[in-house]
Amino acid sequence: MRVLIVRTGALGDVLHALPAVAALHRAQPAWEIDWAVDPRWASLLVDGEGRGPVVSRIVLAETKLWSQAPLSLATLQSLRGLRTTLRAESYDLVVDMQGTLRSAFIGRMAGAARLVGYSDPRERAAGWLYSQRVARSQPHVVEQGAALLADACGIALEPAVVELPREPWADQWAAELVAERKVCVLAPGAGWGAKRWPPPRFGEVAQALRALGFTCLVNASRKDDALASEVVAASHGAAEMTVCNIAGLIALLRRSSLLVGGDSGPLHLAAALGVPVVALFGPTDPARNGPWGPGAKAVLRDAAALTSYKRSAEPDAGMARLTVQQVIDAVRGLTSRQI
């Protein structure tokens, strides 16, 4: 059986799809399971040699290029190359775990007899391309993914703990960076502004955590990251910026004792790796999108927070009501348990 998973991004969404695919791999180790993913997130699935613990191979879908230059020759060539690659694999089944028109289109390009997706995809038009639709019956997106894949394959599946690839260079870099320190990673970013906790409060948290024996490293994907810089400035020397790619972040989190952050990719990566997390939620519902994994978790959300998945840049009132003291109390609670 040859199966293609389509979940091109982003970081947290790929991680939320992985427990279902890991469960399928364990249930059917002889099956060939490929994954169509944007190059930015490939390190979640395979190492630099193309080897991964869950998937047989990845197929690169350059979605960022397509969005930035939709009418360019480079985009046309990228799409043609992707179609050729997908058709050559002769998949028996394609499962769209993303639910957008673009992901459904990628699935249709594979030419498989069966393209399965949700009955209520994120973009309604995606459903027009499916040959089979599966209703959501579980609250959390990880459970929804397992149910979708189980229905598509006709196999009972429960979400499995995931294993992520290792890169020797990243392991060495992280080992040298962390050394003997007790590290807390601060993740102030998120997919849109409403999910972000105010950076000055992260700075205050860093100062309090320093008194608890933590070294705080602020996650950043580039040196000019404005959010990370604001947190560092507000910490008055209690935090430092750490710039790394996905492979580096995986290695860093494996050696970290704690992560504090909002509903973001780094939060979900830490949870998947079993790192204790303090998760700050506002407009998104943790019952649907909360951190998933084997580690300890403290999820903070104001009781009066309103659920919305509108990608608003404006600060969310529910997030603003979460206090520094609540975060420190949550850290103390986790510390007393296992940190």
* pLDDT tens digit sequence for 262-303: 999 999 999 999 999 999 999 999 999 999 999 999 999 999
Do 133 and 182 lie in a common domain? Answer: no
Which residues on adjacent β-strands are paired with residue 35? 5, 58
> pLDDT band at residue 339, thresholds of 50, 70 and 90?
low
Residue 163 has pLDDT above 80, yes or no: yes
d(CA 168, CA 43): 13
pLDDT score at 40: 96
The closest of 170, 131, 118, 155 to 28, measured between CA atoms, is 155
Do 129 and 40 lie in a common domain? Answer: yes
Do 196 and 252 lie in a common domain? Answer: yes
State which H helix or E strand residue 21 sits in.
Answer: helix 11-27
pLDDT score at 31: 98
- Asked which of 123, 153, 183 is the last residue of a domain, the reply is 153
Do 199 and 234 touch, CB atoms closer than 8 A? yes
* 102 falls within a domain: yes
Do 212 and 257 lie in a common domain? Answer: yes
Mean pLDDT of the 136-150 span: 97
pLDDT score at 337: 66
Higher pLDDT, 159 or 338: 159
pLDDT score at 315: 87
Residue 307 has pLDDT above 60, yes or no: yes
Do 131 and 208 lie in a common domain? Answer: no
Burial 26-42 (b: 16+ CB within 10 A, else e): ebeeebebbbbbbebbb
pLDDT score at 338: 58
Do 290 and 143 lie in a common domain? Answer: no
Do 240 and 218 touch, CB atoms closer than 8 A? yes
Do 333 and 189 lie in a common domain? Answer: yes
d(CA 272, CA 13): 12
Host domain of residue 110: 2-153
Phi-psi region of 300 (alpha: psi -120 to 50; beta: other; left: phi over 0): beta
The closest of 126, 264, 71, 109 to 185, measured between CA atoms, is 264
> pLDDT band at residue 195, thresholds of 50, 70 and 90?
very high
* 162 falls within a domain: no
DSSP 110: T
* 20 falls within a domain: yes
Cβ count within 10 A of residue 275: 28
- Here the CATH number for the domain that contains residue 216 is 3.40.50.2000
- Asked which of 153, 178, 197 is the last residue of a domain, the reply is 153
> pLDDT band at residue 336, thresholds of 50, 70 and 90?
confident
Do 162 and 42 touch, CB atoms closer than 8 A? no
* 160 falls within a domain: no
* 331 falls within a domain: yes
Do 276 and 253 touch, CB atoms closer than 8 A? no
d(CA 211, CA 215): 10
Do 302 and 189 lie in a common domain? Answer: yes
Whether the model clears a pTM of 0.85, i.e. scores above it, the answer is yes
Do 246 and 265 touch, CB atoms closer than 8 A? no
Q: State the total domains in the chain.
A: 2
pLDDT score at 143: 98
Backbone angles phi, psi at 264, to 5 degrees: -150, 170
d(CA 86, CA 64): 19
Do 41 and 74 lie in a common domain? Answer: yes
* 236 falls within a domain: yes
Mean pLDDT of the 49-77 span: 96
State which H helix or E strand residue 252 sits in.
Answer: helix 246-254
The closest of 305, 163, 183, 306 to 242, measured between CA atoms, is 183
- pLDDT tens-digit series, residues 83-117: 999 999 999 999 999 999 999 999 999 999 999 99
CA distances from 318 to 112, 254, 285, 288, 290 (A): 45, 31, 11, 17, 16
The closest of 227, 241, 230, 239 to 191, measured between CA atoms, is 227
Cβ count within 10 A of residue 221: 16
Residue 43: both structure tokens together: 């390190």
From first CA to last CA, the distance across the chain in angstroms is: 43
Do 132 and 223 lie in a common domain? Answer: no
Phi-psi region of 331 (alpha: psi -120 to 50; beta: other; left: phi over 0): alpha
pLDDT score at 154: 97
- pLDDT tens-digit series, residues 6-20: 999 999 999 999 999
SS3 260: strand
Contacts of 41 (CB under 8 A, 6+ apart): 8, 9, 10, 11, 14, 246
Do 217 and 113 lie in a common domain? Answer: no
Do 175 and 138 lie in a common domain? Answer: no
- pLDDT tens-digit series, residues 217-238: 999 999 999 999 999 999 999 9
Across the chain, mean pLDDT equals 97
